[in-house]
């Protein structure tokens, strides 16, 4: 029996019997749900994160992700088979290592794999024969083989022979109650037979369905294809919103009716732009890599710039509507922004278009407050660090009536919309949030933007 074969057989046996110890590197919106799902499948799991405060909160059983069931983390910790650590030395204990670290854009809006290379360096210095390393962070096609693998092989060990390597994109949809990490099919890719077998076996014990593809690059491309599809369609629907509005047609009614077509149409909804760590980022990875290999992606690039300017368009529509309906100049206006998260029901402001729109309104001279039940205090963000520390105002009848207008940018479920509808002087709704909830407003006081 060759050494590679016995390493493979041993790890297979450990996975099949759930004796394999699993580590997730990164305990954020992707790594933590994955770590808990792996634990719930019967494995011992250790989560590694450089954020010691988050590690302590998780070990104390705190619900650090608001849409998790109340006791999910506490129960996992209490089982004694799940814990968090900030000690990278414990990488050596793991049989399977899942890398779930951020892959943002840098200041030039180019891919920043700094967290991946840092995590890879930490793993490489402790890598031992027989470990399986899987990258889950979004990267461009070729990055697992071209960036991650060479760093890991600095250990002197060879992928596919001494250790095993694969890529599996995360498809987390934060706050969506209809799908869990376990029920979302998992695309898996590897560049050698042994690694492919291990990925299939490992994820087969964790999720309901695996979707093997022929290589790590293909699996990486799947993620970029999914998110670029969304980016282009969101840009398209925002363009249609403006066009239909000029024709006196409500785009929301159009979408709801079009969505009854059982084939060839999928509804996307207008809004103030795109946010989060995923949809704005993946298409940038795709077009950046395409340029590197000499290919243009004009449709994706146009969609990206349309989406990037969506918050400006929303702010301009508020300014115009305010003057038209109330005769109030934006430079004199007092506004209440409802919702600063990048989408409803999550405590995440990364790349949030609501924050950008708020800033634009203030640049035009408006004085803005905000209300967001997820953010009593505005957190620091990379794009808008200067806004950190502001406080969410309470929603009261008197308070609402004191603003020239309320601007609904993110329609969290836990907001008292009938109160807003009753007391706001004017409402700008970027999400169709009131109509979708059946909250009636006198049409003279509502402008969909
Ligand atoms: N959030 C989503 O909805 C989503 C969905 C699909 C895919 N993704 C992708 O998943 C990846 C992770 O995203 P996320 O939303 O979980 O990010 P996140 O910022 O929520 O979490 C990442 C965690 O990794 C930690 N970290 C950073 N460097 C580390 C290191 N060297 N060692 C250990 N921990 C480290 C951070 O402290 C943080 O807690 C990204 O590539 C993202 O594009 C995100």
Number of domains forming the structure of the chain: 2
- Residue 102 Cβ inside 6 Å of ligand 1? The answer reads yes
Pair 137, 256 in one domain: no
Pair 264, 128 in one domain: no
Pair 84, 118 in one domain: yes
Q: Is residue 314 part of a domain?
A: yes
Q: Is residue 219 part of a domain?
A: no
Q: Is residue 223 part of a domain?
A: no
Q: Which atom of ligand 1 is nearest to the CA of 173?
A: 3
The residue nearest atom 39 of ligand 1, judged by CA position, is: 28
CA distance 426 to 4: 69
* Cβ neighbours of residue 75 closer than 8 Å, sequence gap 6 or more: none
Pair 317, 189 in one domain: no
- Residue 435 Cβ inside 6 Å of ligand 1? The answer reads no
The CATH number of the domain where 293 resides is what?
3.40.50.720
CA distance 350 to 28: 13
The residue nearest atom 36 of ligand 1, judged by CA position, is: 26
Q: Which of 24, 25, 26 to mutate to test the pocket of ligand 1 (most atoms within 8 A of CB)?
A: 26
Nearest-CA neighbor of 162 among 12, 25, 1, 2?
2
* Cβ neighbours of residue 81 closer than 8 Å, sequence gap 6 or more: 39, 43, 44, 45
278 catalytic, yes or no?
A: yes
CA distance readout (Å), 183 to 34, 38, 113, 121, 247: 12, 13, 28, 32, 42
Pair 124, 244 in one domain: no
Q: Is residue 222 part of a domain?
A: no
- Residue 227 Cβ inside 6 Å of ligand 1? The answer reads no
Pair 378, 420 in one domain: yes
- Residue 170 Cβ inside 6 Å of ligand 1? The answer reads yes
Q: What pLDDT sits at residue 1?
A: 53
Pair 188, 249 in one domain: no
- Residue 48 Cβ inside 6 Å of ligand 1? The answer reads yes
Q: Is residue 171 part of a domain?
A: yes
Q: How far is the CA of 402 from the centre of ligand 1 (A)?
A: 40
Which of 184, 213, 242 is the C-terminal boundary of a domain?
213
- Residue 113 Cβ inside 6 Å of ligand 1? The answer reads no
| Active-site residue, selected from the candidate residues 35, 113, 206, 278 | 278
The residue nearest atom 18 of ligand 1, judged by CA position, is: 28
Pair 203, 236 in one domain: no
Pair 294, 436 in one domain: yes
Which of 213, 244, 264 is the C-terminal boundary of a domain?
213
> At how many degrees (to 10) do helices 298-308 and 216-246 cross?
60
56: how many CB neighbours lie within 10 A of its CB? 12
Question: Which value, to the nearest 10 degrees, does the dihedral of the CA atoms of residues 322, 430, 399, 426 take?
Answer: 40
Pair 61, 190 in one domain: yes
- Residue 275 Cβ inside 6 Å of ligand 1? The answer reads no
For 404, the domain range is 231-448
Q: Is residue 168 part of a domain?
A: yes
Q: How far is the CA of 170 from the centre of ligand 1 (A)?
A: 10
Contact (Cβ atoms closer than 8 angstroms) between residue 55 and residue 85: yes
Which 3-state string (H, E, C) describes the chain?
CCHHHHHHHHHHHHHHCCCCEEEEECCCCCHHHHHHHHHHCCCEEEEECCCHHHHHHHHCCCCCCCCCCCCHHHHHHHCCCEEEECCHHHHHHCCEEEECCCCCECCCCCECCHHHHHHHHHHHCCCCCCCEEEECCCCCCCHHHHHHHHHHHCCCCCECCCEEEEECCCCCCCCCCCCCCCCCCEEEEECCHHHHHHHHHHHHHHCCCEEEECCHHHHHHHHHHHHHHHHHHHHHHHHHHHHHHHCCCCHHHHHHHHCCCCCCCCCCCCCCCCCCCCCCCHHHHHHHHHHHCCCCCHHHHHHHHHHHCHHHHHHHHHHHHHHHHHCCCHHHCEEEEECCCCCCCCCCCCCCHHHHHHHHHHHCCCEEEEECCCCCECCCCCCCHHHCCCECCCCCHHHHHCCCEEEECCCCCCCCHHHHHHHCCCEEECCCHHHHCCCCCCHHHEEEC
CA distance 53 to 65: 14
Q: Is residue 226 part of a domain?
A: no
> At how many degrees (to 10) do helices 251-258 and 216-246 cross?
130
Pair 193, 113 in one domain: yes
Name the pTM for this structure. 0.91
Nearest-CA neighbor of 412 among 320, 327, 340?
340
Pair 183, 264 in one domain: no
Q: Is residue 311 part of a domain?
A: yes
Q: How far is the CA of 25 from the centre of ligand 1 (A)?
A: 9
- Residue 137 Cβ inside 6 Å of ligand 1? The answer reads yes
What Rg value do the Cα atoms of the chain yield, rounded? 24
In a structure prediction context, what are the per-residue pLDDT tens digits for the chain, which is 449 residues long? 577 679 999 999 999 999 999 999 999 989 999 999 999 999 999 999 999 999 999 999 998 887 788 899 999 999 999 999 999 999 999 999 999 999 999 988 899 999 999 999 999 999 999 999 999 999 999 999 999 999 999 999 999 999 999 999 999 787 788 898 899 999 999 999 999 999 999 999 999 999 999 999 999 999 999 999 999 999 999 999 999 999 999 999 999 999 999 999 999 999 999 998 888 899 999 999 999 999 999 999 999 999 999 999 999 999 999 999 999 999 999 999 999 999 999 888 988 999 999 999 999 999 999 999 999 999 888 778 888 899 999 999 999 999 999 999 999 999 999 999 999 999 999 999 999 999 999 999 999 99
Q: Which atom of ligand 1 is nearest to the CA of 101?
A: 24
């Amino acid at each position: 029996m060759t050494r590679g074969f016995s390493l493979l057989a041993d790890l297979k046996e450990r996975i099949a019997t759930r004796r394999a110890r699993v580590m997730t590197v990164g305990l954020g919106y992707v790594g933590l749900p994955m770590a808990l799902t792996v634990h719930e499948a019967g494995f011992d799991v250790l989560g590694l994160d450089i954020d010691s405060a988050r590690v302590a909160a998780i070990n104390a059983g705190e619900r650090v992700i608001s849409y998790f069931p109340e006791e999910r983390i506490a129960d996992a910790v209490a089982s004694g088979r799940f814990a968090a650590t900030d000690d990278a030395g414990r990488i050596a204990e793991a049989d399977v290592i899942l890398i779930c670290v951020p892959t943002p854009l840098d200041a030039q809006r180019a891919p920043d794999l700094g967290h991946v290379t840092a995590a890879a360096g930490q793993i490489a210095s402790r890598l031992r024969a027989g470990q399986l390393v899987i990258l889950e962070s979004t990267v461009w096609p070729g990055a697992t083989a071209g960036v991650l693998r060479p760093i890991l092989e600095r250990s002197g060990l060879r992928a596919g022979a001494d250790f095993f390597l694969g890529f599996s994109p995360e498809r987390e949809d934060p706050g969506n109650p209809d799908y869990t990490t376990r029920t979302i099919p998992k695309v898996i890719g590897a560049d050698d037979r042994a690694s492919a077998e291990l990925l299939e076996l490992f994820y087969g014990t964790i999720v309901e369905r695996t979707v093997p593809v022929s290589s790590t690059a293909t699996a990486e491309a799947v993620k970029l294809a999914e998110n670029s599809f969304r980016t282009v369609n969101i840009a398209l629907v925002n363009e249609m919103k403006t066009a239909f509005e000029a024709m006196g047609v409500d785009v929301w009614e159009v979408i709801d009716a079009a969505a009854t077509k059982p084939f060839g149409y999928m509804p996307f909804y207008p809004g103030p732009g795109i946010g989060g760590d995923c949809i704005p980022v993946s298409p940038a990875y795709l077009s950046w890599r395409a340029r590197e290999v000499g290919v243009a992606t004009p449709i994706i690039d146009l969609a990206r710039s349309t989406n990037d300017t969506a918050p400006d368009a929303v702010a301009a529509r508020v300014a115009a509507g305010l003057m038209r309906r109330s005769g109030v100049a934006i430079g004199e206006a007092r506004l209440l922004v409802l919702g600063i998260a990048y989408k409803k029901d999550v405590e995440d402001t990364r790349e949030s278009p609501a924050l950008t729109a708020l800033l634009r309104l203030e640049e035009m001279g408006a004085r803005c407050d905000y209300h967001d039940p997820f953010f009593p205090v505005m957190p620091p963000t990379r794009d808008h660090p200067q806004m950190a520390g502001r406080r969410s105002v309470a929603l009261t009848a008197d308070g609402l009536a004191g603003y020239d207008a309320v601007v609904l940018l993110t329609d969290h479920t836990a907001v008292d919309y009938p109160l807003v509808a009753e007391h706001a002087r004017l409402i700008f709704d970027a999400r169709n949030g009131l109509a979708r909830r059946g909250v009636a407003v006198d049409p003279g006081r509502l402008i969909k933007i």
